[in-house]
A = this chain, B = another copy of it.
Amino acid sequence: MRPTIYLFGDSITEASFADGGWGAALANHFCRTLDVVLRGYSGYNTRWALKVLDRVFPTVGHDGAAAAPPVALTVFFGANDACLPDRYAAFQHVPLDEYKQNLHSIVSSLKKQWPKTLILLITPPPIDEDGRLRHPFVENPSGFPERTNEAAGSFAKACVETAEECGIPVVDLWTRMQQYPDWRKAYLSDGLHLTKEGNKVVFEEVMKKLEERGLSLEKLKADLPLFADIDHDDPLKAFQQ
């Protein structure tokens, strides 16, 4: 069977198969080579993710045998951990130190289960505070956003450090997106979630990391004969085993 890539994260992962989404773009890119499997959980922070880890990725498969290891797995949390502790989304907040420790625990648990799987961290995106005030999740008469770009940046930095400490790759989305002057409007739809252009940035950055580690169409084996390789004069030849 085809190898699998799991996408594990919060709402930015859960929504990644919506129109123009980065998950769908990965599935389309690898349409004959890999299965891209969605494990996005809207609203979750690393504390909650850690509580459910063994139910997201069972240690045994459907029939009691060891679950087949995925070739790659994206871990994309931090946008909810970074909610401020004194604003309306405080129940999602996780202190920075605990966030970093939780990420370490998630990575080490996955590495223990699947030593050969490529684990790729993704930092939270930057926050457009005006966008959050215009698009709050609940009524917010305080005049203060529940997330700030500065706080998201601290969590992004901790995510990059964790990747370095674990010796695994990371997409620093917070930094990458802000390299483009119009990032607030171009990449964010509500100050937090991604526009189509924002999704495209995630797709491209994830693809770079996958390709650097050999997960490219050139190196992966296509599932079953490709149309271009079928002999017009003797099509069935391609299907002999």
User: Contact residues of A with B, CB < 8 Å?
Assistant: 1, 11, 14-15, 17-21, 23-25, 27-28, 31-32, 35, 37-38, 40-44, 47-48, 51-52, 55-56, 58, 61-66, 68, 91-92, 224, 226-227, 230, 232-233, 235-236, 239
Contact = CB atoms under 8 A, between A and B. Distances in A.
Tell me the number of copies of this protein. Answer: 2
Given A62-B1, A224-B55, A37 B35 contact: yes
7 contacts: A14-B32, A15-B28, A17-B27, A21-B28, A24-B28, A52-B239, A63-B68
Contact of A68 (B17, B62, B235): B62
A21 B25 CA distance: 10
A87 to B, nearest CB: 13
Contacts of A19: 19-20, 24-25
A64 B235 CA distance: 31
